[in-house]
Structure 1
Amino acid sequence: MTIREFKMPDVGEGLTEAEILKWYVQPGDTVTDGQVVCEVETAKAAVELPIPFDGVVHALLFEEGTTVDVGQVIISVQTGDAGAGAPVQTAAAPVAEAAAAAAPAEEPVAEARQPVLVGYGVSTASTKRRPRKATAATAAQNGTAAPAAPVLPAVPAQPTGERPLAKPPVRKLAKDLGIDLASVVPTGDGGVVTREDVHAAAAAAIAPQAVPAVAAPVAAQAQAQAPVAEAAVTETSARETRIPVKGVRKVTAQAMVGSAFTAPHVTEFITLDVTRTMKLVQELKDDPDLAGLRINPLLLIAKAVLVAIRRNPDVNASWDEAAQEIVLKHYVNLGIAAATPRGLIVPNIKDAHAKTLGELSESLSSLVATARDGKTSPADMQNGTITITNVGVFGVDTGTPILNPGESAILAVGAIKLQPWVHKGKVKPRQVTTLALSFDHRLIDGELGSKFLADIAAVLEHPRRLITWS
C-alpha cells in the first residue's frame, strides 16, 4: 500500500493559485479515477477537480476557504499500487517540503510526474513557491503550528544599480503610473516585480499614511505587519465591514486598472428608436420554427453587432505591445458581460460570426445559465474580441464602459423606454434606447468608431438590414 498525492493543477491558462471552495470527500472515503473530489475557485471561475487514480482518502491537506498555490499537494490517497505515485509522506512531509524549497535555485528539485487532467494542462513551474500572506499571523491567533506549506524568506528589493526584473507589460504599467521600478519591492519568484507590486507602490505614493491598511503588503512587510493586515481584513464593527478582495473580484479589479491605464479609451453615444426591433422580437417569439429558443432584445443586438463588424472588419482587432503590431481578427469571439455572485465575468461566444440566429440564441442561453451557476470555465473567458454589456437591465440609460483587456471595443446597451420621438413628422411614443461604444483609440480612430456605432444603430432601427446587409 502506498500514499499517492494529488497536487493543485493549473486549471487554465497559467493561473498560479486557487481557493478550495468545497470538499466532496472526507478521510476514509473511497475514490475512483475521474471522481470529483473538490471545487476550487480560480481568479476566473469555479472549477470541479477530478482525481486521476483510485484509492481511499488518507488526508485533506487544506481546509475549505484556503488559497493554494498551483503545484501544492491538496489531498493524499492510499492506493494499492505498490510502485506508483509518490512515496509515503507522514509527519516528515513539512520538513521535506521546507528543505526542497530552501534548495539553491540552480539545483532544481526533482518531482514525480503529475498526472495530466483533461483540459488542465501541465504546470512547468518549479517547486519553489512564494510566501503565503499572513500565514504566521493566522497561526499565532489560532494557537496552532503553521500549515504544511513553507513560508519562504522575503525577497529583498533590487540592489542599487541593478536593473529591476519585470516583464514588459509590468514595465509599461509602472511607466504609465509614474512609478520607478527600482523603488518597488518585488514579491515574485526570483525577485521579479509583479503588477500587484506596482499597484501597491502606486497606492503608497497616493496615500502614504494609509499604506499599512489598504496597500497589498509586500513580502518584506508581511511578517512585521501581519497582525495589522489580518485585523484589517477580518474586523467588523457597527460602522464598517472589510471584505477581502480575491478570486474573480480581485482579477477583475486588476484587469480594469490595467486596461484603463494601458488602452486610450474613447466613448461615443447614440440614441435611437428601436420600436421595429422590439416588434421583431415579439414576432420571433411567436414563430413556431423558433419554439424553445430564448428570444430577447439582446439576441438581436448581438446580431446587429456581428453585422456591423462584417461591414467594418478593422474594428475587430487587438494591439500587440511586444511586437508593436495591430492584429486583425478574422473571427469574432463575442463577449457578454455577466454579473454573478462571485463578481463580473465576461465569457464569450466562440466564432459567433459563423452562427445562425438560432445557434446564437442557444449559445447566449448556455452562457448565461453557466455563468449564473458559477460554472464558467477559464477557457470560456479567453480570447474575446468585442464585448456587449447590458446595463439596461438595471434601468440605467447608458455608461462609459472600460474595455475588457485585449479587446478593441465594448458596447453598453441602455434601458429601452417608451419616450416621445419624432416619427414620420409627428411626435409619437416610441421605444428608445441609448448605446455607448468605448474603443481603443490605438486601433480604432474616430471615423471608424463612429461608422461602426452608426451601423449598429441602423440595424436596430431597421432590423430588415439583418438580411439585406448580411
Structure 2
Amino acid sequence: MPDVGEGLTEAEILKWFVQPGDTVTDGQVVCEVETAKAAVELPIPFDGVVHALLFEEGTTVDVGQVIISVQTGEAEAPAAAAAAPAAEAEAAPEARQPVLVGYGVSTASTKRRPRKAVAGTAAQNGSAAPVAPAAPAAPAPLPAVPAQPSGERPLAKPPVRKLAKDLGIDLASVVPTGDGGVVTREDVHAAAAAAITPQAAAPAAAPAAAPAPVAAPVAVVAAAADASARETRIPVKGVRKVTAQAMVQSAFTAPHVTEFVTLDVTRTMKLVQELKDDPDLAGLRINPLLLIAKAVLVAIRRNPDVNASWDEAAQEIVLKHYVNLGIAAATPRGLIVPNIKDAHAKTLGELSESLSSLVATARDGKTSPADMQNGTITITNVGVFGVDTGTPILNPGESAILAVGAIKLQPWVHKGKVKPRQVTTLALSFDHRLIDGELGSRFLADIAAVLEHPRRLVTWA
C-alpha cells in the first residue's frame, strides 16, 4: 500500500479490478482505495500474473503493507507455485521481527491475512505452533500456554494494548495468533469471552467443538439484538475521520472570529442571467457562486493581507502571493474542500470551467489528495440547503472562510421605498492571529460591495 497522499497512514480497499490468475501490465489499475482524503486508483508497477489478493474489499490496510502478489518472469511449475505460499508462511515469522508502529518492513515473501478474518487454527493464521505430522489435515489446537517466553513483553500494537487494558485482560495470558507471535484484537476478544464463560477456559475435546466457548450468554445476545434495533454505529474512517480531526484541530488552535453582513444582490442575479445569455460564454456554467468567487478574489486583491497562514513553529505570518480558492463540496463520502489553484490569475470563463470540473470530480469521488492541499481561503455555500447563514470553521492552515446563505426574495428599502429584492447573508470566519477586526471587516465589506454593485468586478479588478 503506497502513501498516496501527504501524511496518510492507512487506506481502505474499496474495489479490486483483478482476480488471481489475471494477467496485468505495468501501469494497469488493479484496485481503488479510499484514503482519509479521497478515493484513489492504484496501478501495478510491473507485468505478470496475479498470484493472490492479500486483503478483501472493505479492509483497512496500513501504508507499507503488501496487498497483492504477482508472479513475474517465466511461469513456474504448478507444483512449485502451489508450494510457494506455504513456504512463505513458514519463513515469515523467522525472517523479521514484527513492526508494531509505523510503516513496518515489507518483504515479498510476507503474506498478511485480512484484518476482519476470524482468528482460527495455527495453520490458518500463520502461527508458529507446530502441527503433528501424523494428522496434517486436522486443525492444530491452540496452545494452552502463552507463546511469549517468560519475562518478555507480549507483542501487540498500541490499539490492541488499550483494548486489553479496557477489558481488564493481561496480555501475558493471551495466546497470540498473529504473524510473528503478535497478539491481535481477535485474541483479546477471545480471552475476554473465555473470562466470561468458564467453559471456554477448558481445551476443546475435538476441533469441531472449538467455536462453542465464544458464544455469548442468551441474555447478552438478546441485549445486543435489542440495541441494534434502536441504534446504528457507523465507523469513523476515510474522509469523515480526517474531517473530524481537522475541525477539532482548527477549532482549538485558531482563535475564530465571525462577522455577518446582509445585502441586496438583485443586480448580481440580473448579471448572472445576462451572462447566461451571452453567446461568448455559451457552454459555461454561470451561477451566483461564480460571481461570489470572483468577488472574493477582487476583495483579496484590495486586502492582500487576508490571504495568509500562521507558521506556529517559526512564529511567523506567511503572506501568500497566490490564491488557491477552496470550495467546500458535499460528497457521499463526506465534506471535502478541493481548491482551484492560482484562481487569482483566471478569467471569468476559466474560473467557471475550474469550478465545474472541481464540483463534478468531487461528486464522482475522484478528487485527488493534491487537489485538496495548499488551499489559502475557502467558500462554503450553505444557501443551497435553504440555510440563511452560519459560523463556518476554518479549513486548517487557512486564514478565512466565507459562508454564503440562501438568496431569497425579501422586502428591502431600495431608493427610499420598500421593494421586493434578492437578499442574502454572508458570514466570514477568520483567524484573529492573522486578521484583526479592521482588516476582516474591510474584506467582508468589499465582498458585499462587489455583489451589491457587480460593475465593481471591472472597476476594482
1:445 and 1:355, CA in 2 relative to 1: closer, same or farther beyond 3 A? Answer: same
Q: CA deviation at 1:328?
A: 0.4
| Separation of aligned partners in 1, 2:449 and 2:329 | 26
Task: Report the 3-state secondary structure (helix = DSSP H, G, I; strand = E; otherwise coil) of the residue aligned with 1:77.
Answer: strand
Q: Deviations over 1:440-467 (max 9, x none)?
A: 0000000000000000000000000000
Q: Which consecutive aligned stretches of 4+ in structure 1 deviate over 3 angstroms post-superposition?
A: 91-105, 107-229, 231-236
Aligned to 1:114: 97
Residues 379 and 449 from structure 1, CA distance in 2 versus in 1: closer, same or farther, beyond 3 angstroms? same
Contact kept, 8 Å, 2:66 with 2:106, in 1: the verdict is: no
- 1:58 match: secondary structure: strand
CA shift digits 1:47-90 (9 cap, x unpaired): 00111111111100000000111111111111116xxxxxxxxx
Q: Which region of structure 1 is more displaced relative to structure 2, 333-342 or 120-129?
A: 120-129
- Which has the higher mean CA deviation after the structures are superposed, 156-165 or 429-438? 156-165
**Equivalent residue pairs, number:** 452
Partners of 1:298 and 1:214 in 2: how far apart?
67
Counterpart Cα distance in 1 of 2:255 and 2:156: 23
1:149 to partner: Cα distance: 24
Shift of 1:409: 0.3
Q: Residues 245, 321 of structure 1: CA spacing in aligned structure 2 closer, same or farther, 3 A cutoff?
A: same
1:85 match: none
Contact 2:381 2:403 in 1 (8 A): yes
5+ residue gaps, structure 1: 1-7, 82-90
Structure 1 residue 437 displacement after superposition: 0.2
How far apart are 1:214 and its partner, in Å?
35
2:65 touches 2:103 (CA, 8 Å); kept in 1? no
For the structure 1 residues 205 and 418, does the alpha-carbon distance in structure 2 shift closer, same or farther, using more than 3 Å as the test? farther
Matched residue, 2:139:
150
8 Å CA contact retained: 2:246, 2:396: yes
Cα distance between partner residues in 2 of 1:380 and 1:217: 53
Q: C-alpha offsets along residues 391-415 of structure 1, whole Å, 9 cap, x if unaligned?
A: 0000000000000000000000000
Give how far 1:12 is off. Answer: 1.5
Q: Give the CA deviation at 1:153.
A: 19
The alpha-carbon deviation at position 382 of structure 1 amounts to: 0.1
| CA distance in 2: counterparts of 1:118 and 1:389, whole angstroms | 37
Q: Alignment partner of 1:453: what SS?
A: helix
Higher Rg of the two aligned structures: 2
| Distance in 1, Cα, partners of 2:192 & 2:247 | 15
Unaligned stretches of 5+ in structure 2? 128-133
Match of 1:340 among 314, 317, 331: 331
Displacement, 1:278? 0.2
Cα deviation, residue 104, structure 1? 22
> How big is the shift at 1:14?
2.9
Whole-Å Cα distance in 1 between the matches of residues 442 and 197 of structure 2? 43
Report deviation, 1:237: 2.0
Going from structure 1 to structure 2, the CA distance change for 1:218 and 1:143 (only over 3 Å counts) comes to closer
**Closer, same or farther: CA 150–203 of 1 in aligned 2, 3 Å:** closer
For 1:203 and 1:254, the matched residues in 2 are separated by 33
Q: Answer yes or no: is the 8 Å Cα contact 1:9–1:122 preserved in 2.
A: no
Deviation (angstroms), 1:124:
15
Deviation at 1:201, TM superposition (A): 25
CA distance in 1, matches of 2:173, 2:52: 44
Deviations 1:161-200 (A, max 9, x none): 9999999999999999999999999999999999999999
The corresponding residue for 1:84 is none
- Could you say which residue in structure 1 is the equivalent of 2:80? 96
The whole-number CA distance in structure 2 between the counterparts of 1:435 and 1:202 is 54
What is the aligned-residue identity percentage? 92
Cα distance, 1:365 vs structure 2: 0.2
Q: Report the CA distance shift for 1:169/1:142 in structure 2 as closer, same or farther (over 3 A).
A: closer
Partners of 1:62 and 1:224 in 2: CA distance: 25
Q: Give yes or no for contact 2:66–2:111 (8 Å, CA) kept in 1.
A: no
Scaled by the length of structure 2, the TM-score of the pair is 0.71
**CA deviation vs aligned residue, 1:127-180 (integer Å, no higher than 9, x gap):** 999997998699999999999999999999999999999999999999999999
What displacement does 1:31 show?
0.8
**Contact between 1:197 and 1:218, CA under 8 Å: does it hold in 2?**
no
Say whether the 8 Å CA contact 2:13–2:58 is kept in structure 1: yes
Relative distance call for 1:56 and 1:449 in structure 2 (3 A) is same
Alpha-carbon distance change, 331 to 191 in structure 1, aligned in 2, over 3 angstroms: farther
Q: CA shift at 1:204, angstroms?
A: 27
CA 1:355/1:418 → structure 2, altered by over 3 Å: closer, same or farther? Answer: same
Aligned CA distance change for structure 1 residues 225 and 205 (closer, same or farther; 3 Å):
closer
Is 1:200–1:215's contact at 8 Å kept on the other side of the alignment? no
Distance 2:138 2:318 in 1: 42
Rate the CA distance shift 1:278–1:442 in 2: closer, same or farther, 3 A. same
> Partner of 1:272: helix, strand, or coil?
strand
Q: 1:122 to 1:150 in 2, by over 3 A?
A: farther
CA distance change for structure 1 residues 223 and 455 in 2, over 3 Å: closer, same or farther? farther
Whether the 8 Å CA contact 1:154–1:220 is kept in 2: the answer is no
Residues 265 and 439, structure 1, Cα contact 8 Å, conserved in 2:
yes
Alpha-carbon deviations, 1:282-314, whole Å to 9, x = none?
000000000000000000000000000000000
For 2:235 and 2:177, the matched residues in 1 are separated by 19
Measured at CA, do residues 185 and 75 of structure 1 come closer, stay the same or move farther in structure 2, by a change above 3 Å? closer
**Counterparts in 2 of 1:389 and 1:192: CA distance versus 1, 3 Å:** farther
CA contact (8 A) 2:37 2:239 kept: yes
The answer to whether the 8 Å contact 1:173/1:258 transfers is: no
Shift of 1:269: 0.1
Q: Which deviates more, 121-130 or 25-34? A: 121-130
Q: What is the distance in 2 between the residues matched to 1:264 and 1:163?
A: 44
- How far apart, in 1, do the equivalents of 2:17 and 2:417 lie? 65
The separation in 2 between residues aligned to 1:24 and 1:255, in whole angstroms, is 32
The alpha-carbon distance between structure 1 residues 181 and 423, as it changes in their structure 2 partners (threshold 3 A), is farther
Deviation for aligned residue 1:110: 15
Given that residues 267 and 400 in structure 1 are in contact (C-alpha distance below 8 angstroms), is that contact kept between their aligned partners in structure 2? Answer: yes
Alpha-carbon distance, 1:238 to partner: 2.1
How far apart are the structure 2 equivalents of 1:214 and 1:331? 69
**Structure 1's 399 and 194: CA in aligned 2 closer, same or farther, altered over 3 A?**
farther
Alpha-carbon distance in structure 1 between the residues aligned to 2:194 and 2:262: 42
Matched, 1:365 2:365: no
Aligned-residue RMSD, C-alpha: 9.6
Give the 3 Å change call, closer, same or farther, for CA 215–122 of structure 1 in structure 2: farther
Preserved contact between residue 71 and residue 127 of structure 1 (Cα < 8 Å): no
**TM-score, length-normalised on structure 1?**
0.70
- CA drift of 1:239 comes to 1.1
Structure 2 CA distance for partners of 1:101 and 1:406, relative to 1, 3 Å: farther
Answer whether contact 1:411 1:435 (CA < 8 A) is retained: yes
Q: 1:47 to 1:213 in 2, by over 3 A?
A: farther
Query: In the superposition, relative to structure 1, how do residues 51 and 104 fare at CA in structure 2: closer, same or farther (>3 Å)?
Result: closer
**Cα drift, residue 202 of structure 1:** 26
Check 1:156–1:114 CA distance in 2 against 1; reply closer, same or farther (3 A cut): closer
* 1:217 CA drift (Å): 32
